């Protein structure tokens, strides 16, 4: 019985299958690349509406993190400071600086400065600043040496592996709660030893089950 399709059909089907397969892989790769949320990238550093330098304010001038992010000790979120906080100083300091014009306009109009959020966790992740700060987890542990950054960038991965590693072994990241915003703190002995003592005294037991962070 004569063949219905010529022998060349096998080659055509193989080539066609390879093209379709490679096309599918390329399509998935392109979709992943172009839809990947850059806000979870280590090193993410968006352009802000005002060139605020943490190195100057928190580093050289010694402003405490709590002065601007005033809710970290009492709320889940670290508040972005209102314009009034900026103007507490800038009604007297650099009053004519063109770089601060957006701040002055915000103060006059009452419209908030459109700061771009840098450290943003997925909606399905629950994170409470108050719980961590009062336990003795410093800003440095999650945000790095902010006081050395002219432009703030995401210094840590802030992914599940990062969080679980700390929850399973929190001692190196625990310090006296009154020192959490002292970013240049240098312990006088092994930080793990200090952290272990605080953990025992406060009976800290960070959750490692799913419901601890996914509520």
| The pLDDT value given to residue 2 | 53
| The pLDDT value given to residue 28 | 57
| The pLDDT value given to residue 176 | 97
| The pLDDT value given to residue 42 | 85
Q: What are phi and psi of 137, to 5 degrees?
A: -85, 120
| The pLDDT value given to residue 34 | 47
Q: Nearest-CA neighbor of 115 among 147, 92, 85, 82?
A: 82
| The pLDDT value given to residue 4 | 63
Point out which residues pair with 137 in neighbouring strands: 174
| The pLDDT value given to residue 194 | 98
Residue ranges covered by each domain of the chain: 54-80+115-212
Q: Tokens 């450290």 belong to which residue?
A: 119
Coil/strand/helix, residue 137: strand
Check: CB of residue 81 under 8 Å from CB of residue 57: no
| The pLDDT value given to residue 35 | 45
| The pLDDT value given to residue 25 | 67
> Tens digit of pLDDT per residue, the chain (215 long)?
555 656 665 666 666 666 777 766 666 555 444 444 444 578 999 999 999 999 999 999 999 999 999 999 999 999 999 999 999 999 999 999 999 999 999 999 999 999 999 998 889 999 999 999 999 999 999 999 999 999 999 999 999 999 999 999 999 999 999 999 999 999 999 999 999 999 999 999 999 999 999 98
CA 62, distance to chain mean position in Å, is 22
The CA distance from 154 to 119, in Å, is: 6
| The pLDDT value given to residue 36 | 46
- Per-residue burial over 105-142, b if 16 or more Cβ lie within 10 Å, else e, is ebbeeeeebeeeebbeeeeeeeeebeebbebbbbbbbb
Q: Tokens 């670290």 belong to which residue?
A: 78
């Amino acid at each position: 019985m004569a063949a219905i399709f010529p022998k060349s059909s096998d080659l055509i089907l193989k080539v066609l299958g390879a093209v379709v397969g490679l096309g599918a892989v390329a399509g998935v790769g392109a979709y992943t690349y172009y839809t990947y949320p850059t806000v979870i990238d280590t090193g993410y550093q968006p352009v802000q509406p005002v060139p605020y330098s943490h190195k100057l304010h928190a580093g050289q001038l010694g402003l405490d993190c709590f002065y601007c992010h005033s809710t970290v000790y009492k709320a889940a979120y670290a508040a972005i400071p209102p314009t009034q906080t900026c103007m507490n100083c800038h009604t007297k300091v650099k009053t004519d600086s063109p770089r601060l014009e957006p701040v002055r306009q915000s103060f006059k109009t009452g419209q908030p400065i459109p700061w771009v959020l840098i450290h943003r966790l997925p909606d399905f992740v629950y994170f409470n600043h108050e719980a961590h700060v009062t336990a003795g987890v410093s800003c440095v542990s999650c945000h790095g040496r902010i006081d050395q950054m002219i432009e703030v960038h995401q210094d840590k991965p802030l992914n599940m592996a990062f969080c679980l590693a700390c929850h399973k072994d929190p001692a190196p990241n625990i310090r006296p709660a009154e020192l959490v915003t002292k970013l240049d703190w240098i312990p006088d002995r092994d930080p793990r030893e200090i952290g272990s003592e605080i953990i025992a005294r406060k009976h800290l037991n960070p959750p490692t089950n799913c419901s601890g962070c996914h509520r």
